Structure 1
Amino acid sequence: MTGSEVPPSFRLVYVPGVMPGKWVRLWSERYPGVPLTLTQVPAGEAAERLRGGGADVGLVRLPVDRTVFSAIPLYTEQTVVVVPKDHLFTAADEVAPEDLADDIVLHPLDDVLEWETVPGRPAFERPATTADAVELVAAGIGVLIVPLSLARLHHRKDLTHRPLEQAPESSVALAWPEDATTDRVEDFIGIVRGRTVNSTRGRTQPPAEEKKPGRTDKDAARRKPAAAGRPGANRRGGGTGGTSKGGKRGRPRRRS
């Protein structure tokens, strides 16, 4: 494929908890001729999908290998602890790590938080996924620490969550292989950065309205002289009878 050719579609991968809807909508409005293929992948698989050419860009969780990928950080999420609705923590506005000392804290294998030491008591076995851990929380086995978006994604009526102080946070970024920065990637970067369709920094601009043909010399010759060229046009009272032909005021004639 040459640089001037347009790919048949634009491929975006995103990780659980990320909501790409607003950017997808803007893409479809600005580039209706280039369909956007949207695929959700586990957080741990997003980088490999991009590296292998399975997607053009990805909405991923940091960190990523910056020797391979370019990345634009978008936002950082609050970290929360998910508990049953009858848990003691529901009486608090927020929770500190030391408050978890007596609780079993579930640590799924797909955890996206980077811990030095996970607070609380470890479970006998790590759940395979965050979804599995949520089921265990609902069964009263322990509590779970996740970014806020994952707590909302796995919301259940019998569970709630509270902010956790002094905890690692997860940041979301737009990432793509550095050696695969195509024109369409630049277009999507412009959308994510909030550039308007008229932004001079955007690569692709919508076609401009066709300009009307300029006025020719013949058109100008057909136009009537401007009003400013008529004698007396700007004098008080208007009209052309205020002066004689030479521009001098004539004497009034005496009646006999």
Structure 2
Amino acid sequence: MTETQVNTSFRLVYVPGVNPGKWVRVWGERLPDVPLDLLAVPVGEGEGTLREGTADAGLVRLPVDRDVLSAIPLYTEATVVLFPKDHWLAAAEEVALADLAEDVVFHPLDDALDWPGELPGRPAIERPATTADAIELVAANIGVLLVPQSLARLHHRRDLTYRPIVEAPQSSVALAWPQDRTTELVEEFIGIVRGRTVNSSRGRGVQPSTPAAETKKGAQPQKPQSPKAGRPKTPGKPRPSAGSRGGAAPKRGGGKPKRRG
């Protein structure tokens, strides 16, 4: 059930690799009187932030607890393997998990991939604390790292490159919010993310102004004037008088003139 929004602002949490910019711009156009505050958190803290009520909604990575949070899946990212540019994998167009059998594969504590079992390759001595730490180790040519493609782009380095990897788990991004706090502003943001127009939105977005010609209720549209309308009338030819033929003036003094002797 939708609750009435009492807050004067809307807070959106998002995790690394997610870019909320296009939706934030639409929000500013539709609700200029309601500030949208962005809160960036590590991958593993998106769900907790929503549970604590620190944010109204969030762009997080699945899975989340569906007993507590409502979630709308938005898209699924391709998974890539990140390695130094001089690595032998650079010659391949795509990589299989079996190709990593001899490589150390890092598994950071904030891993964005939900692995159902063991990782491929050889495990590192210890797990890096963050994805950024793991990338530093990859740059030192100690091992490789599997991440969603957006994170590979986010942590771009000139000395590293990546290739798509098949058979690896993928990461899905979703819009999530607490089930017991589905406010009007949450509904408004859902509409923006789903691409609803202002007229079809369920929220309180700014409605487009009505043209002045349409403000009068029941006004009848004016019929377009004929092309002949407004032209000056051309005076017609005078009608012939009664008894005249062809409109010629009658001759005076009928008969032939007399000859003079």
TM category (shorter chain) comes to 0.7 to 0.9
Deviation at 1:25, TM superposition (A): 1.0
Deviation at 1:35, TM superposition (A): 0.6
Counterpart residue identity of residue 93, structure 2: D
Cα distance per residue 1:124-149 (max 9 Å; x no partner): 11111111000000111100011001
Counterpart residue identity of residue 254, structure 1: G
2:152 alignment partner, SS class: helix
- Aligned positions of 1:198-209 closer than 5 A: 199-207=199-207, 208-209=209-210
**8 A contact 2:5–2:183 mirrored in 1:** no
Aligned to 2:242: 253
Deviation at 1:203, TM superposition (A): 2.4
Counterpart residue identity of residue 16, structure 1: P
Deviation at 1:215, TM superposition (A): 8.3
Inter-partner Cα distance in structure 2 for 1:215 and 1:177: 43
**CA-atom RMSD in angstroms:** 2.9
Deviation at 1:112, TM superposition (A): 1.5
Inter-partner Cα distance in structure 1 for 2:23 and 2:98: 40
- For the pair 1:42 / 2:42, whether they are aligned, the reply is yes
| TM-score (normalizing by structure 1) | 0.82
Structure 2: segments with no counterpart, 5+ residues: 220-224, 245-249, 251-261
**8 A contact 2:60–2:173 mirrored in 1:** yes
- For the pair 1:11 / 2:21, whether they are aligned, the reply is no
Cα distance per residue 1:15-68 (max 9 Å; x no partner): 001011111111111111111100111111111110111000000000111111
1:105 alignment partner, SS class: strand
2:17 alignment partner, SS class: coil
- Aligned positions of 1:1-256 closer than 5 A: 4=4, 6-115=6-115, 116-197=117-198, 199-207=199-207, 208-209=209-210, 214=216, 253-255=242-244
Deviation at 1:204, TM superposition (A): 2.4
Inter-partner Cα distance in structure 2 for 1:88 and 1:36: 46
Counterpart residue identity of residue 151, structure 1: A
Cα distance per residue 1:60-87 (max 9 Å; x no partner): 0001111111111111000000000100
Counterpart residue identity of residue 74, structure 1: L
Deviation at 1:211, TM superposition (A): 5.1
| TM-score (normalizing by structure 2) | 0.80
User: Quick one: structure 1 residues 201 and 10, their matched pair in 2 at CA, closer, same or farther if it must change by over 3 Å?
Assistant: closer
Cα distance per residue 1:179-223 (max 9 Å; x no partner): 1110000110111111122x3243224244375664899xxxxxx
Question: How many residues are paired up?
Answer: 233
Inter-partner Cα distance in structure 2 for 1:216 and 1:70: 45
Inter-partner Cα distance in structure 1 for 2:64 and 2:218: 60
User: Quick one: structure 1 residues 23 and 214, their matched pair in 2 at CA, closer, same or farther if it must change by over 3 Å?
Assistant: closer
Give the 4+ runs in structure 1 shifted more than 2 A. Answer: 3-6, 199-217, 252-256
2:95 alignment partner, SS class: coil
Counterpart residue identity of residue 187, structure 2: E
Deviation at 1:8, TM superposition (A): 1.6
Inter-partner Cα distance in structure 1 for 2:26 and 2:4: 23
Inter-partner Cα distance in structure 2 for 1:87 and 1:25: 41
User: Quick one: structure 1 residues 215 and 13, their matched pair in 2 at CA, closer, same or farther if it must change by over 3 Å?
Assistant: closer
Inter-partner Cα distance in structure 2 for 1:113 and 1:38: 24
1:176 alignment partner, SS class: strand
**8 A contact 2:79–2:168 mirrored in 1:** yes
Aligned to 1:244: none
1:82 alignment partner, SS class: strand
Cα distance per residue 1:198-251 (max 9 Å; x no partner): x3243224244375664899xxxxxxxxx99xxxx9xxxx99x9xxxxxxxxxx
Q: Which has the larger radius of gyration?
A: 2
% identity of equivalent residues: 62
**8 A contact 2:188–2:205 mirrored in 1:** no
Inter-partner Cα distance in structure 2 for 1:133 and 1:215: 66
Deviation at 1:172, TM superposition (A): 0.2
